Amino acid sequence: AQSVTQLDSQVPVFEEAPVELRCNYSSSVSVYLFWYVQYPNQGLQLLLKYTSAATLVKGINGFEAEFKKSETSFHLTKPSAHMSDAAEYFCAVRSSLNTGGFKTIFGAGTRLFVKA
């Protein structure tokens, strides 16, 4: 079964400093990867997705992620953090269901703290 591991439960950064949130996935022939963001008391929102096209994926709010097969990683980055980026971030992977459909499996999350 597919899985993802988020290496940091919390990441503190100063405002305008670069952000990196780390994610490793279990190896597979074909992999679809996602990053979602969750603001307090809200549902999850898709930031970006990798679907076997370009290895560098650009998402919303200035975030991007690079798929590195040799490292089985899909780290999320942003050049300059804003206070509004403070949230919980989830790395996720598509996994096949026995019935032929798919489900999304989420990591445990990384909470990004942005300090002034």
Partner 1 sequence: DTGVSQDPRHKITKRGQNVTFRCDPISEHNRLYWYRQTLGQGPEFLTYFQNEAQLEKSRLLSDRFSAERPKGSFSTLEIQRTEQGDSAMYLCASSLETGGTMSLIFGPGTRLTVL
Interface positions with partner 1 (CB under 8 A) = 9, 32, 34, 36, 41-46, 49, 51, 90, 92, 94, 97-109
Question: Cα–Cα distance between 18 and 64 in angstroms, integer?
Answer: 12
Shortest spacing between CB 59 and partner 1, in angstroms: 11
Shortest spacing between CB 116 and partner 1, in angstroms: 25
DSSP state of 40: T
Shortest spacing between CB 94 and partner 1, in angstroms: 6
Shortest spacing between CB 9 and partner 1, in angstroms: 8
Show the DSSP H helices in the chain as ranges: none
**88: CB partners within 8 A, 6+ apart:** 37, 38, 39, 109, 110, 111, 112
Residues listed for the chain: 116
- Closer CB to partner 1, 19 or 36, in the complex: 36
Instruction: Kindly list the distances between the CA atom of residue 10 and the CA atoms of 7, 28, 54, 58, in Å, as whole numbers in the listed order.
Output: 9, 27, 29, 23
- Closer CB to partner 1, 69 or 103, in the complex: 103
- Closer CB to partner 1, 17 or 54, in the complex: 54
Residue with tokens 């949130």: 21
- Closer CB to partner 1, 80 or 96, in the complex: 96
